[in-house]
Amino acid sequence: MELTTVWFILIAVLWTGYLVLEGFDFGVGMLLGLLPRRGPARERERRVMINTIGPVWDGNEVWLLTAGGATFAAFPEWYATLFSGFYLPLLLILLALIVRVVAFEWRGKIDDDRWRAWADRALIVGSWVPAVLWGVAFANIVRGVELDADHQYVGGFWALLNPFALLGGATTALLFLTHGAVFLGLKSAGDVRDRAAALGARLAPVTLVVAAAWAIWAQVAYSDNAWTWAAVAVAALALVLLVVATRTRREGLAFLASAVTLVAAVVLIFGSLFPDVMPAFDAANSLTTTNASSTHYTLTVMTWVAVILTPLVLLYQGWTYWVFRKRISADHIPDSIGLTFERPTADAGTQDR
């Protein structure tokens, strides 16, 4: 197998890790304004939700950094065209992620209701914006964009807001929202768990309809590879299983189904592209795994680095999830936030923010 193909697959794997793991982080943040009850218990329930992802959200974002770095090193022309042509939406995503990080880190630094309210708004906005815009960006890549002979994007910002891309944004938003609700049902206890499970059961059928519509549209209109129908079929079966599992409160199975759906979505996206990495309306101007790649020597060095370091990263992240595997309930949340992190306990299995 060509090294260019190997790295195309590896970048797809990195995006898979990011969307599956950061997907439920986004979902929890998106639900922060929807799930907690109003009244005295609202703050405690919000802290339960934040604590479910507290120990892992920053590690999950490493997948995005690695995917971006791998794209820059393996396919520099793809990286340059993508980040210059999609500059505004990617800048909005970056700003949203920065705001989200600041909200996570600073929410518990001041014991003031207004301070926490602003931090929560930042978390909510910082989760919704990437959840929608990632779908818009990937849908445009699958659809193809207007590139000139120098592989520069010349379509303009508004061309990115086409019906297929907007449906893609709705699809990723619903997938992450459902993924987050299912994760909360799996990771929390008490009232938060019950309401998250009920909301997941209501979201799953809607997600099934919207995601299926986008996947079939993508396959029929933009994929030249017949084998990607298998990804569409797997996603559809996983979504049906998700609907059944959420209705029967089988939380582990529901989380597995939502994760498989996201994996199948990435396979569909990258499978539809190959051998292109950035298809153009004029096929002669498309970027491919061949004309966008680095030298063979560069790819060889990168491959050895990936072979050595990737297992270590996976082991460390797996260990983190194992350590913080316990459910979290309102009983684990102290009355006062304080200015430092709470020491993890065997029951809570997480930090307090």
Instruction: Give the confidence band of 351 by pLDDT, cuts at 50, 70, 90.
Output: very low
The reported pLDDT for the residue numbered 346 is 43
Residue 41 is assigned to a structural domain of this protein: yes
The reported pLDDT for the residue numbered 339 is 38
For 6-17, what is the mean pLDDT?
Answer: 95
Residue 318 is assigned to a structural domain of this protein: yes
Residue 339 is assigned to a structural domain of this protein: no
For 71-78, what is the mean pLDDT?
Answer: 94
| For residue 291, pLDDT beyond 70 | yes
Residue 263 is assigned to a structural domain of this protein: yes
Q: Which residues contact 6 (CB under 8 A, 6 or more apart)?
A: 299, 303
Q: Which residue has the tokens 């802290």?
A: 47
Q: Is residue 287 within a helix (H) or strand (E), and if so which, with residue range?
A: strand 287-288
Determine the angle formed by the axes of helices 113-143 and 87-106, rounding to 10 degrees: 150
Residue 340 is assigned to a structural domain of this protein: no
For 68-96, what is the mean pLDDT?
Answer: 93
Please tell me the total count of domains within the chain. 1
For 24-60, how does the pLDDT look when each residue is reduced to its tens digit (9 = 90+)? 999 999 999 888 887 777 888 888 999 999 889 988 9
Residue 337 is assigned to a structural domain of this protein: no
| For residue 244, pLDDT beyond 70 | yes
For 136-162, how does the pLDDT look when each residue is reduced to its tens digit (9 = 90+)? 999 999 999 999 998 899 988 889 999
Residue 345 is assigned to a structural domain of this protein: no
Q: Which domain holds residue 31?
A: 3-332
Residue 349 is assigned to a structural domain of this protein: no
Closest CA to 135 of 241, 269, 273, 330: 269
For 181-200, what is the mean pLDDT?
Answer: 93
Q: What is the CATH number of the domain that holds 14?
A: 1.20.1630.10
